[in-house]
Amino acid sequence: MNTNPDFRTPEFSARGRRADSLFRYATIAAGAIVLLVLGAVAFTTTKRAWPALDSMGLDFFTSDRWAPNEKFFGARSFIYGSLVASTIAVVLAIPVSIGIALFTTQVVPARWRRPIVYLVDLLAVVPSVVFGLWGILVFAKHVDGFYGFLHDVLGPIPVVGDLFGEGSGRGYMTAGIILAIMITPIITSLAREVIDTCPPADREGAYALGATRWEMIRGTVLPYSKGGLVGAVMLGLGRAMGETIAVALVIGSTANISANLFASGDALPARIANEWGEAEGTWRAALIGLAVTLFAVTILVNLAATAVVNRSLAKSQGTR
Amino acid sequence: MLSTKNRSVSLLAVSLGLALFAGACGDDGGSTAAATGSTAKTGTTKPAASSGATAAPTTTVAPKVEVTGTLNASGATFPKGFYEVAIAEFKKAQPKATLTYAGGGSGKGRTDLQSQVVDWAGSDGLVKDADKPNYKGGEFLYFPTVVAPITVSYNLDGVDKLNLSAETVAKIFQREIKTWDDAAIVAENPDAKAKLTGNITVAHRSDGSGTTEHFTIYLNKSVGAGGTGVWKLKSGSTVEWPADTQAGNGNAGVAQIVKDTKGAIGYVDFSDAKATGLKFASLKNKAGKFVAPSLDGASAAAEGATVNPDLSYDPLWAEGDKAYPIAAPTWILAYVKQTDKAKGETLKTFLRFMLTDGQKLAPSIDYAPLPKGLDEKAIAQLDKLQIPV
């Protein structure tokens, strides 16, 4: 041990400089690895999917006919199913998650906070296959009647009624609800962290100006944490789009495009999981093609969301 | 109750059989034992050797060869129940051998065998000639193992017996017949006319499956392109089912839909249909007789099928009055050239077990044994396996 640490000794700062540059390279390497892995994944999957992509051409993305026994592969109905189910999931999960996050950070007394947070986080560790089995064996069986009720009530309304047609317990809506339950804890815990970063000074300032609790939340907490909240939702959306087994069990597994939210459909990852075991040759290539498509769709959705957020952030920060 | 009893009886038969087997395969086993040295030594310390010693120092009762290899396999899920039971029984006789069967689907099994990830593969279907060059280990053999009926199961109150022709089945699964009181169904079941009411819900597999493949081959052969042309979806492990049908994962998933839904119909393998307690239809076979699914019906179908030199055969829509029309075959695929001595010997011993004592195990878990003749051909084929010395 050095009894007289002198921070200005030449050795020390030389070592410091070396550590500094080492740190810089290490972080650059870490960042590069992410890009490298992404690039490698994109390259290999595209290469292995090429036999199918090559023989199908653009039809691979635009056709909704999927007939492995005739070597015809069109992914459109699965892209549609993935988007519809994850949209339902996000629409249902956003108000609930942000509600829980606001509740635990702003409303609930401090001593109740931990158990509630703990319970919500517990939901995140339930394996997806458990959700899937519960979905198919319990939920799908009993939700049938409720869908029928919604169809009877909302069905006759023009345009909106098309969304609530007849159906069974296996379809987009059931998949969306199961996914919503699965992504709620993720969005909640991230949203909680984000909301917690709102400076107390801002909040107390709002109170000082005579704001009610809701006005304070709307005026300071939400604008302050908007970017982070969208990030939280994006992570949830990513999870919903990639979720495989739970969706495979409840979405109904038919290559179908329908505005009816209660109809059966299929999602990209679910189709891969269902058919992988029996697939060979071009069929296998086509399933890898579905993975490439999922990759691309996820990136596109994320880019679009980031663009929207940046624009709205610029706007709201301009007024602040 | 009955099945447990059956099972213990057949287990007894197997253990008896094994003792005989140890003696019966003496000729073959003896020669390998002599050649292998160390394995032969472990064999001589076994009780079998002591009986040999008391009889005579000649080789009339040869010691049982103990095999020590590790065999990994994957493939068809349809015979998985049977393979697991057979492997467990085999391990009792050969405690030093390690065998695993991972399932995963016929396609996975074939792909794994191609790249030599597994030592043998289970497959419900045959390998296309175009794919054969992809098999890195060269030439491979088909060993048929069991046959099993695929049922057309339904859920209709008060109807305990339902007769269906292939044409009606095809129309139901294509959604051309949508209600149970359709004239075509009533004509085949005049006695049940009053109970045939309500809408039909069609259940099929959501995952790619050999069961789907065999079911659609049956429809394609009987009333498809080759026949009357009623069946238009062709055949394959996944076909383009109409959108207003229900899909379940695995045989158990389809069985669940049929069980839960009034008016549902679906194709489910025999053992799952029985385990779920479903009612199944009698199907009209090629000879024009309505036959209920049974192990005897499946064996009869296999007997009526022509066996090719490579031991591939097609028991679907087979000839014969007793033949059940959807009897599904399944095979074990293994390379001719074995590269590892211990593995090769274990494989040969295991396959011999499957084709002899394993066959007696099959009925206890609702699989039909191979018909006489086919099992002998498969045993004869064992000699084609090339094991390094």
Burial A260-287 (b: 16+ CB within 10 A, else e): bbbbbbbbbbbbbbbbbbbbbbbbbbbb
Q: Which residue among B107, B249, B260 places its CB closest to the CB of A278?
A: B107
Q: Is the CB of B239 inside 8 Å of chain A's CB atoms? A: yes
At B14 the pLDDT is 45
Q: Which residue among B77, B106, B207 places its CB closest to the CB of A275?
A: B207
Q: Please tell me the distance in Å from A185's CA to the nearest CA on chain B.
A: 28
ipTM of predicted assembly, 2 dp: 0.77
A174-178, B29-33, B105-109, B204-208: range with lowest mean pLDDT: B29-33
In angstroms, rounded to a whole number, what is the distance separating the alpha carbons of residues B313 and A141?
41
Cβ contact B105–A278 (<8 Å): yes
User: Which one of B175, B206, B220 makes the best mutation probe of the A interface by having the most chain A beta carbons within 10 Å?
Assistant: B206
Backbone angles phi, psi at A8, to 5 degrees: -100, 5
In angstroms, rounded to a whole number, what is the distance separating the alpha carbons of residues B343 and B333?
15
User: Which one of B220, B238, B241 makes the best mutation probe of the A interface by having the most chain A beta carbons within 10 Å?
Assistant: B238
- Residues of B within 8 A of A168 (CB-CB) are 246
- Residues of B within 8 A of A286 (CB-CB) are none
Is the pLDDT score of B19 beyond 90?
Answer: no
Cβ contact A275–B246 (<8 Å): no
Q: Which tokens sit at B10?
A: 């057949």
Q: Are residues B204 and B246 in contact, defined by beta-carbon separation less than 8 angstroms? A: yes
At A308 the pLDDT is 79
Mean pLDDT value across chain A: 89
**């952030």: which residue's tokens?**
A313
At A12 the pLDDT is 62
Is the pLDDT score of A44 beyond 90?
Answer: yes
- Residues of chain A with pLDDT > 70, as a percent, come to 94
Mean pLDDT value across chain B: 85
Tell me the CB-side half-sphere exposure of residue B349, using CA atoms within 13 A. 33
Q: Tens of pLDDT along B253-305?
A: 899 999 988 999 999 999 899 999 999 999 999 999 999 999 999 999 999 88
- Residues of A within 8 A of B107 (CB-CB) are 276-280, 283-284
In angstroms, rounded to a whole number, what is the distance separating the alpha carbons of residues A184 and A97?
5
By C-alpha distance, the chain B residue nearest A73 is B240
Q: Is the CB of B237 inside 8 Å of chain A's CB atoms? A: yes
Q: Please tell me the distance in Å from B340's CA to the nearest CA on chain A.
A: 27
Helix spans in A103-167 (H)? 110-124, 128-134, 140-154, 160-163
**What are the DSSP calls for B148-214, one per residue?**
EEEEEEE--TT----EE-HHHHHHHHTTS--BTT-HHHHHH-GGGGGG--SB-EEEEESS--HHHHH
User: Which one of A278, A280, A284, A288 makes the best mutation probe of the B interface by having the most chain B beta carbons within 10 Å?
Assistant: A278
- Residues of B within 8 A of A136 (CB-CB) are 253, 256
Q: Please tell me the distance in Å from B200's CA to the nearest CA on chain A.
A: 14
Tell me the CB-side half-sphere exposure of residue B379, using CA atoms within 13 A. 17
How are beta strands B264-269 and B327-335 bridged, if at all? unpaired
Cβ contact B249–A249 (<8 Å): yes
In angstroms, rounded to a whole number, what is the distance separating the alpha carbons of residues A5 and A12?
10
Q: Tens of pLDDT along B297-331?
A: 999 999 988 899 999 999 999 999 999 999 999 99
Q: Please tell me the distance in Å from A165's CA to the nearest CA on chain B.
A: 13
- Residues of B within 8 A of A78 (CB-CB) are none
Q: Is the CB of B249 inside 8 Å of chain A's CB atoms? A: yes
- Residues of B within 8 A of A248 (CB-CB) are 206, 249
Cβ contact A68–B208 (<8 Å): yes
Query: What pTM does this model have?
Result: 0.80
Cβ-in-10-Å burial (0-12, 13-18, 19+) of B91 comes to middle
By C-alpha distance, the chain B residue nearest A252 is B247
Cβ contact B238–A65 (<8 Å): no
Is the pLDDT score of B9 beyond 50?
Answer: no
Closest by Cα among B303, B383, B304 to B344: B383
At B294 the pLDDT is 95
Tell me the CB-side half-sphere exposure of residue A305, using CA atoms within 13 A. 21
Torsion of CA A210, A203, A95, A243, to 10 degrees: 180
Q: Is the CB of A248 inside 8 Å of chain B's CB atoms? A: yes
**């999957």: which residue's tokens?**
A45
Q: Tens of pLDDT along A97-130?
A: 999 999 999 888 888 988 988 888 888 888 989 9
Is the pLDDT score of B49 beyond 50?
Answer: no
At B314 the pLDDT is 92
Cβ contact B240–A258 (<8 Å): no
Helix spans in B277-340 (H)? 295-304
- Residues of A within 8 A of B234 (CB-CB) are 69-70
Is the pLDDT score of B213 beyond 50?
Answer: yes
E strand spans, B44-176: 70-75, 98-104, 120-123, 140-154, 163-164
Q: Tens of pLDDT along A294-310?
A: 999 999 988 888 887 78
Q: Which tokens sit at B272?
A: 């799952």
At A2 the pLDDT is 52
Q: Is the CB of B74 inside 8 Å of chain A's CB atoms? A: no
By C-alpha distance, the chain B residue nearest A258 is B243
Q: Which residue among B238, B249, B260 places its CB closest to the CB of A69?
A: B238
In angstroms, rounded to a whole number, what is the distance separating the alpha carbons of residues B262 and B276?
15
Question: How many other β-carbons are positioned within 10 Å of the β-carbon of residue A124?
Answer: 14
At B42 the pLDDT is 40
Q: Is the CB of B299 inside 8 Å of chain A's CB atoms? A: no
Q: Which residue among B104, B234, B245 places its CB closest to the CB of A69?
A: B234
Is the pLDDT score of A159 beyond 90?
Answer: no
A110-124 and A172-196 are packed helices; what angle lies between their axes, rounded to 10 degrees?
140
In angstroms, rounded to a whole number, what is the distance separating the alpha carbons of residues A293 and A288?
9
Q: Is the CB of B105 inside 8 Å of chain A's CB atoms? A: yes
Cβ contact A137–B235 (<8 Å): no
